[in-house]
């Protein structure tokens, strides 16, 4: 197996707390940013900026910002859940419902759970990370003939993958935090970090070294499940 494929297969979302006493070295940060620099982007627009946050005081201020759970997220999330390892292995897509509180995975309780939920500090998402990479982009710009900036968003996805694979190759854990892009949270973070109004937060990468085991069941469809030969629906090579 090639080393590149091995890194791709072993990459995962590190959902456990990170060791605050084990920072990301300057050398490894430069490698990650160099991988980001060579991201393929539509029309070579390089439509991103990255804010590196590793100052403890700034991390603490970000951690104090509070976020609310979204009912829309919980209901759409429910549609992707499996409720046993056997079900997940059979479906080969989605994630286990056991990863969420019981009230988040019962459609009859979701509305009430959202009403009762108190805003949670971002620190519970950061969980000891010594470094955050905030990926921002200019919402006024888009690649030519890319209505809705679809190609621009694809480029931001390529950036995510470059960062993630480099971090994986260095033994650094990474988790994508989408809560930073939620309007109320984004407003506060942009103010705190002096981000111009025309810039938007795409997502945030929390980086660090796991303080515990981060292994969990991961599934993927088989190649033949998503591959078609010469026309859609033709599953046999000719």
Of all residues in the chain, the percent with pLDDT exceeding 90 is: 80
What angle, 0 to 180 degrees and rounded to 10, lies between the N-to-C axes of helices 26-37 and 150-169? 150
- pTM here? 0.93
pLDDT at residue 1 tops 80: no
Tell me the per-residue pLDDT of 32-90, one tens digit each, with 9 for 90 and over: 999 999 999 999 999 999 999 999 999 999 999 999 888 999 999 999 999 999 999 99
> Tell me, what's the pLDDT at 192?
98
β-strand partners of 200 = 137
Structural domains of the chain, ranges and CATH numbers in brackets: 3-67+122-215 (3.40.109.10), 69-118 (no CATH)
Distance (Å, whole) CA 56 – CA 130 = 8
Tell me the per-residue pLDDT of 144-170, one tens digit each, with 9 for 90 and over: 888 889 999 999 999 999 999 999 999
DSSP 72-84: HHHHHHHTTEESS
pLDDT at residue 203 tops 90: yes
Structure tokens at 68: 């609310």
Distance (Å, whole) CA 54 – CA 133 = 9
């Amino acid at each position: 197996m090639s080393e590149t494929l091995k890194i791709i297969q072993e990459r995962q979302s590190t959902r456990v707390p990170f060791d605050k006493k084990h920072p990301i070295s300057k050398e490894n940060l430069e490698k990650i940013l160099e991988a980001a620099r060579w991201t393929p982007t539509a029309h070579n627009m390089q439509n991103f900026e990255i804010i590196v946050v590793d100052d403890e005081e700034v991390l603490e201020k970000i951690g104090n910002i509070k976020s609310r759970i979204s009912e829309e997220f919980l209901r759409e999330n429910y549609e992707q859940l499996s409720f046993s390892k056997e079900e997940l292995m059979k479906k080969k897509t989605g994630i286990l419902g056991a990863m969420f509180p019981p009230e988040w995975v019962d459609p009859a309780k979701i509305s009430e759970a959202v009403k009762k939920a108190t805003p949670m500090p971002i620190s519970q998402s950061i969980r000891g990370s010594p470094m955050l990479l905030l990926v921002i982009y200019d919402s006024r710009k888009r690649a030519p003939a890319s209505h809705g900036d679809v190609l621009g968003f694809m480029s931001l996805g390529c950036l995510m993958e470059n960062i993630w694979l480099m971090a994986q190759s260095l033994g650094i854990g990474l988790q994508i935090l989408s809560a930073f892009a939620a309007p109320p949270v984004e407003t506060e973070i942009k103010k705190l970090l002096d981000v111009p109004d025309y810039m938007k937060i795409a997502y945030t990468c929390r980086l660090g070294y796991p303080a515990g085991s981060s292994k969990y069941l991961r599934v993927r469809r088989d190649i033949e499940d998503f591959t078609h030969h010469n026309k859609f629906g033709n599953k046999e090579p000719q």
